[in-house]
Chains A and B, each alone.
Chain A
Amino acid sequence: MFILNPQSGVPIYRQILEQVRRMVASGQLPPGTALPSVRDLALRHTINPMTISRAYSMLETEGLLERNRGRPMTVASQSRNHTQLPKRLEQIGPLVEQTVVAARQLQLSETDLVKAVRREWEQNDE
């Protein structure tokens, strides 16, 4: 379910946070979906279990996940509505910023960049 890279400078708990937020916001993880247990994730990815529980707890505090006694955590029901557009845009903000910085360094025009994004968008859709 997750793509986790322990060698990345981004702490693993943050990688989990961001991926769950994105997947819940987009409706890819609908309410009620069960998440893998801490133990399963730790063993499957060979990563420390505490960092996973930390991410799950933070997502619970945010109201994205619900803890269920004796059962796996699930996506909370309040997050049913796909999160509002502005919120979702906000989440992709940092990536857009990085892309724009890189484009300016490469002295690409706005049109060049938009074209490149459109091409990628279409290819990705296939």
Chain B
Amino acid sequence: MNDTTVEASNLSKSFGDKQVLQDMSFGVSPGDVVGVLGKNGAGKTTLLELMLGFTAPSGGAVRLFGHESYSLPGDIKARVGFVPQQDELLDQLNVADQLRVIASFYPRWDTSLISRLCAEWGVDMNARIKSMSVGERQKLSILLAFGHKPELLILDEPVASLDPIARRQFLEQLLTISADGERSIVFSSHIVSDIERLANRIWILKEGRLDWQGDLDSLKESIVRLHIRSTAPELPAFKIPGVLNLRRDGGFATAVVRDWTPEAQEELESASVQIEVESLGLEEIFVELHR
């Protein structure tokens, strides 16, 4: 038995002479829910596809359950579930037939779970896939990835077309999956508030690099906005480690910093300035990291 579900070391990927991912090292443990954030074109989909072994890395390696992704044995593949950005449903089938096709690949398929979820999520077994809306197709393609109870679930923008109610049902189901602490989920999304609820770990991709990785809780504690004040008309000289951006205005300054610690606060306060620390939500942190 292997402890880590996913392990990547110095992973990189180029297409032609275009470098898409550079030197990424990370791990995913059982029970982790990883939220992957990044602007369009930051490399999220490429990263997920490398993890799934759809394409070979140009450098480094990524392993799932101890096996190199690009050459996963069939029994390991069966422990992984994937929801692609573009669904791969078969237009000519109806829902029940599509479910049967996928279920036939997996001995562990949980028919009763999927029937229950279909009913709860309002997915009509008799609907013809061709005539389903984008949102309905997305629900079905999520269900197809749940049915074999994967130990690792990878989702690429799974909820872009879902309404808030359907998204909430989907989040609740993912939480149910992760609550036993044994399965792992990696998902990318632009809906930051979903990531804020669901994820315990965050990867922020920026220009093909892993700009920040760690616990969501530590992210919120280490990236903060400081409001700095002095009784003197001009602020005395001070140095703040890890400043992302700083605005001075006479006896007042605001700064967003990325490595905030209680020690840094003590040190700054000894420079005879007053500091108020403002915590930031994930969306604001993301924006500040891209200023």
Nearest neighbor of A38 in chain B, beta-carbon distance: B179
- Given known contacts A39-B179, A51-B217, A54-B217, A9 and B198 CB-to-CB distance under 8 angstroms: no
**Which of the segments B93-101, B112-120, B167-175, B235-243 contacts the partner chain?**
B167-175
Nearest neighbor of B168 in chain A, beta-carbon distance: A46
Taking a contact as CB atoms under 8 Å apart, the answer to whether B179 and A101 are in contact is no
Partner of B281, one of A9, A46, A51: A9
- Given known contacts A48-B175, A49-B181, A51-B200, A9 and B168 CB-to-CB distance under 8 angstroms: no
| B47 nearest CB across to chain A (Å) | 21
Taking a contact as CB atoms under 8 Å apart, the answer to whether A48 and B279 are in contact is no
- Report Cα–Cα, A78/B179, bound state, in Å: 31
**Which of the segments A10-18, A26-34, A64-72, A106-114 contacts the partner chain?**
A10-18
| A16 nearest CB across to chain B (Å) | 11
Question: Does A63 interact with chain B (Cβ within 8 Å)?
Answer: no
- Given known contacts A43-B176, A48-B33, A51-B200, A8 and B171 CB-to-CB distance under 8 angstroms: no
- Chain A stretch 90-115: residues in CB contact (< 8 A) with chain B: 98, 101
How many A-B residue pairs lie within 8 Å, measured between CB atoms? Answer: 66
Nearest neighbor of A11 in chain B, beta-carbon distance: B217
Chain B binding surface, main DSSP class = helix
Taking a contact as CB atoms under 8 Å apart, the answer to whether B171 and A46 are in contact is yes
Taking a contact as CB atoms under 8 Å apart, the answer to whether A11 and B172 are in contact is no
- Report Cα–Cα, A49/B179, bound state, in Å: 6
Question: Does B221 interact with chain A (Cβ within 8 Å)?
Answer: yes
Taking a contact as CB atoms under 8 Å apart, the answer to whether B220 and A11 are in contact is yes
Question: Does A35 interact with chain B (Cβ within 8 Å)?
Answer: no
Taking a contact as CB atoms under 8 Å apart, the answer to whether A49 and B178 are in contact is yes
Question: Does B86 interact with chain A (Cβ within 8 Å)?
Answer: no
| B185 nearest CB across to chain A (Å) | 10
- Given known contacts A48-B198, A50-B31, A42 and B175 CB-to-CB distance under 8 angstroms: yes
Max chain A Cβ within 10 angstroms of own Cβ: one of B179, B278, B283: B179
Chain A binding surface, main DSSP class = helix
Partner of A101, one of B32, B224, B276, B281: B276
Taking a contact as CB atoms under 8 Å apart, the answer to whether A46 and B175 are in contact is yes
Taking a contact as CB atoms under 8 Å apart, the answer to whether A9 and B224 are in contact is yes
Taking a contact as CB atoms under 8 Å apart, the answer to whether A9 and B279 are in contact is yes
- Report Cα–Cα, A101/B227, bound state, in Å: 12
Which residues of A lie under 8 Å from residue B259 when comparing CB positions?
Answer: none
Question: Does B55 interact with chain A (Cβ within 8 Å)?
Answer: no
| A22 nearest CB across to chain B (Å) | 18
- Report Cα–Cα, A7/B216, bound state, in Å: 12
Question: Does B193 interact with chain A (Cβ within 8 Å)?
Answer: yes
Taking a contact as CB atoms under 8 Å apart, the answer to whether A49 and B175 are in contact is yes
Nearest neighbor of A40 in chain B, beta-carbon distance: B179
Question: Does B196 interact with chain A (Cβ within 8 Å)?
Answer: yes
Of the A-B pairs whose beta carbons lie under 8 Å apart in the complex, a sample of 8, sorted by A's number, is A6-B193, A7-B282, A43-B179, A47-B198, A48-B33, A48-B198, A49-B178, A49-B179
> Residues on A close to B: CB < 8 A?
6-14, 38-39, 42-43, 46-51, 54, 98, 101
